[in-house]
Amino acid sequence: MKKRIRKIGIAARLTAVVAVILAVFVGLWTFKLIENAQVVAAYRAGMEVNDICWRVEHTLVEKGYDPDDMPSANTPEYDKMRCDLAYSIWDSEKAYVVQYYDGQENWVTMRSPLLLYGKNADADIDISNFAEQDIREMREVYGPKKGFSDDVGYIAMIYGKKIENNGHTIYIPNRICVGAYDYEWTAQTPVEEVGQWEEMPQWCFDKDSNMEVYFAEKKYLETKLRCINGENVKVDHTGGYFTIFLSLSSTIGYGHGMVMATAPIDKEAAYEDLFWGMPFITIALYLIFLFIFYKIVRRMVADPLVDTAREANLVANLAFDEFKPDLKRGDEIGELNRALSEMAATLHTRWDSERDLEDKRQQFVSAASHDLKTPLALIGGYAEAIAQDISPEENARYLAAIEQETARMNGLVREMLDYTRLDRTDELKNRKTLNLTALVRDVLTEYAPLFEKRRLTADIADGVRIRGDETLLRRAVGCLLENAAKYSPENGRVSIRLTNSRNHLLTVENDCEPIPETELPRLFEMFYRGDKARDRAGGHGLGLAILQKILALHGLTCKAENIKGGVRFIVCNKD
């Protein structure tokens, strides 16, 4: 499992982290919306309750009821007021209670009606006085897709009284009988049966859920009334899927009573209004955001890192010429590419240096083997000859030849050891301030016999000083003088000039055949002796290489160039 996780790309990992963070954020935002939905649901319920209370109060004021002489219960004025209130809140089947003191100071409780529309006489039937079970049975007969709603109709006989007021007619039944179903329902509170009427009722609730809300509201109000009357009853604030909201409002201007109404805190409706289509939209936006974020991270981070890794593999495979990282970026990846570029450049330089060194080592071994093979072969041949029966003169001549070849081999080995020692030296230990003028003059005096058959001229400036190793500098100057004497012809010109200028510190010129321009830079390589003429002059090809090593330790270098009739060697600063 851990291995699989480690193989997941950085873009996918970052997207997963952002997905979790975003999910938490969306969860908190959803929780906040749920809280807001609850507030909205409570606000709507409060508005409904306040609307009911206001309409009741407005109707009483509009109809001119005297707050000091309100109708007594079960009187024609009471029925008239009940009819007025019923049609003032006709657009909703809401449970409410109006309580007040009548003209005789009796406490009167008037409950909200529940009206069924009667098709025959264009009258309404108040069934609020019937038990909940009876109303549920009526729903089975006259509910949605039954009775009047599908034009079948079941005749109901209504026994009770009739209220007529301002063109409205309401039946207050004591009994309702339906012959087709053999049903008979009786009101909980008896009503005087002053007449009977035939009607085809139309059900009042559009949905069963509205009926359940009505029952819950009515039950809640009845419980509150019992509490107000002094009974110790627990009030249930819930009804089905709804939380019942209670509001009490004193009738303004009528200071002898109150209106008590309820409305459901319909959280589901509030959730539906706030979250309608939101899950799909949120999920879609969530996925789109994560997709875009993944693409952005992939484009800006993951892909550049993949490119950097590919470039790093090129460096690992020593393909330095193909290494081309993006160095234009200004971010951390750009810094990584620049660091990788610097590392690659360093490795390239070191690799080239190591390769050159290896080439030089192979060249060194090859040249050394070649230079050692010849004298060894000669010594072997002379030794075999001496072993034969030869004359004393030949024996002496062969011994002298062996001695000469042995000395030549010793010189070669010493020079090889000197070059190796100098190649491993990074810093001079015996550095001190030297009088270069005196040193050059001493070396000229020491090498004077070499120039007896040469036309030597010297221009040595006074007071030239340098910090360095005296022994090594003597050898470097001697090497230049020996080289000039060796390759200049008899009676040829040799010129030596020492100045205080570091750009032309020491100049040595000698007459000779010009050196091909392509070979000039190679004069300072190990075992390189140039053309055949120079090769015939002898030597092992290490002198100038040792010279260059000595000068490099002193911050100097030597350059060779052709001049008219000869060659010039210039010792100057490295820079």
DSSP annotation of 300 reads I
Residue 5's pLDDT is 58
Domain count, the chain: 2
Q: Indicate the residue among 272, 300, 320 that finishes a domain.
A: 272
Q: Which residues contact 153 (CB under 8 A, 6 or more apart)?
A: 119, 147, 200
Query: Rounded CA gap, 379 and 408, in Å?
Result: 11
Residue 544 within a domain = yes
Residue 241's pLDDT is 38
Residue 445 within a domain = yes
Q: The domain spanning residue 489 has which CATH number?
A: 3.30.565.10
Residue 164 within a domain = yes
Residue 159's pLDDT is 94
Long-range contacts, stretch 31-36, CB < 8 angstroms, 24+ apart: 33/274, 33/275, 34/271, 36/274
Q: Which position has the token pair 């693409």?
A: 295
- pTM (two decimals): 0.49
Q: Which amino acid is present at 247?
A: S
Q: Indicate the residue among 257, 272, 287 that finishes a domain.
A: 272
Burial label for 264, CB within 10 Å (0-12, 13-18, 19+), is buried
Residue 243's pLDDT is 44
Q: At what angle do helices 10-62 and 76-88 cross, to 10 degrees?
A: 150
E strand spans, 93-230: 96-101, 107-111, 115-118, 123-126, 156-165, 168-178, 183-186, 195-199, 201-202
Domain extent at residue 529 = 429-573
Query: Rounded CA gap, 178 and 201, in Å?
Result: 11
Residue 190 within a domain = yes
Q: Indicate the residue among 272, 291, 318 that finishes a domain.
A: 272
Residue 239: beta bridge partners?
242
Residue 421 within a domain = no
Residue 251's pLDDT is 40
Query: Rounded CA gap, 90 and 520, in Å?
Result: 118
What does the pLDDT profile of the chain (575 residues) look like in tens digits? 555 655 677 777 788 888 888 888 888 887 887 788 778 878 888 888 888 888 888 888 888 888 888 889 888 899 898 888 888 876 557 888 888 888 888 888 888 898 888 877 678 899 989 999 999 888 888 876 444 444 445 788 999 999 888 888 899 999 999 876 678 999 998 999 999 988 888 888 888 888 888 888 888 888 877 877 777 766 555 544 344 444 444 343 455 678 888 877 777 777 777 767 677 787 888 888 888 888 888 777 777 777 777 877 877 777 777 777 777 777 777 777 788 778 877 787 787 777 777 776 776 666 666 566 666 776 777 677 777 777 777 777 777 777 777 776 776 666 666 666 666 666 677 788 889 999 999 999 988 888 888 899 999 999 999 988 888 888 889 889 988 888 898 889 999 999 988 888 999 999 988 888 888 888 887 666 654 444 444 555 677 888 888 888 888 999 999 998 899 999 998 76
Residue 25 within a domain = no
Burial label for 307, CB within 10 Å (0-12, 13-18, 19+), is middle
Measure CA of the first residue to CA of the last residue in the chain; give whole Å.
Answer: 60
